[in-house]
Amino acid sequence: MGYFSNIYHGIRTLLTGMRVTGKYFLNARKGAITQQYPDNRDTLKMFERFRGEVVMPHDENNEHSCTGCQKCELACPNGSIEIIWDRVIDPETGKKKKAIDQHIYHFGMCTQCGLCVDACPSDAIKWAQNFENSVYDRTQLTRILNKPGSKVRAGVEE
C-alpha cells in the first residue's frame, strides 16, 4: 500500500469507530443501563432471590419456625452460623424438646453461598435483599437472628 492510501485507510477505520460512539453520543439517554444509585434508593428493588443477608422472619406473636436442628450450622462452609440451644419442657406434652437460645449469625464471615437456607427443613431462615452492609465496627456484623423473648411456632417439628 502506498503512503497516502495508508493514511486514508487509517483515518477511515478510526471514523468507523467514531460513528459508533457518535451514535451513542447523540442518543445518550436511549438504552442507558446506568442506575443513579444513591438517588434511586426509593425505587430500587432487588431481585427476590438476591442473597443479601440471612434473616429469621418472625410473625406478629414473636414466633419463628427454627427448631434448633442445627442443619444450617452443619451446612455452613465457614462457620458463620452458631446455634446455642437447650432442652426445654414442652408445656403441652410435658416432654423435653430442643429449643434455640440464640441463633448467632457472623455476617462478616458469610460468603452468601446459600447452603444454610437450602438446608433448612422448616424455612426458618431466608435471604433478605438489603445490600448496604457497611458498618464502622466488625462486631456489629455479628447478629442474633432470633428476637429476644421469641419462641418456636407451635406445630413446627424437626
Partner 1 sequence: METAVLNSTTVKKSNFKSEEYFINMGPQHPATHGVLRLLLTIDGEIIKKVEPDLGYIHRSIEKMSESNSYQQIVHLTDRLDYLSSHINNEAVCLCVENALELEVPERVKVIRTILGELTRIASHTLWWGVMGMDVGALTTYFYGFRDREMINDIFEETCGARLTMNYNIPGGLMQDIHPNFVKRVKEFIPHFRSKLPEYDRLLTGNIIFQKRTKGVGVLSREDAINFGASGPVARASGYSCDVRKYHPYSALDKVNFTEALDTAGDSFARYKVRIAEMWESLNIIEQLIDNIPEGDFKVATNAVIKLPKGDFYQKVETARGEFGVYIISTGNKNPYRVKFRSPGLSNLSLLNHIAVGGKIGDLVATMATIDIVVPDIDR
Q: Which three cell numbers stand for residue 64?
A: 419463628
CB 110: neighbour CB atoms within 10 A? Answer: 20
Q: How far is the CB of 147 from partner 1 (least distance, A)?
A: 25
Out of 36, 102, 112, 133, point to the residue binding partner 1 (CB under 8 A): 112
Q: How far is the CB of 72 from partner 1 (least distance, A)?
A: 12
CB 127: neighbour CB atoms within 10 A? Answer: 18
28 belongs to the binding site for partner 1 (CB under 8 A): no
Query: Using CB under 8 A, which of the segments 47-55, 86-94, 100-108, 143-151 binds partner 1?
Result: 47-55
* Number of shown-chain residues binding partner 1 (CB under 8 A): 26
Out of 27, 114, 123, 126, point to the residue binding partner 1 (CB under 8 A): 114
Q: How far is the CB of 75 from partner 1 (least distance, A)?
A: 7
Q: Could you tell me if residue 85 is left (phi over 0), alpha (psi between -120 and 50 degrees) or otherwise beta?
A: beta
22 belongs to the binding site for partner 1 (CB under 8 A): no
CA angle 89–93–98, rounded 5-degree value: 40
Q: Which three cell numbers stand for residue 44?
A: 430500587
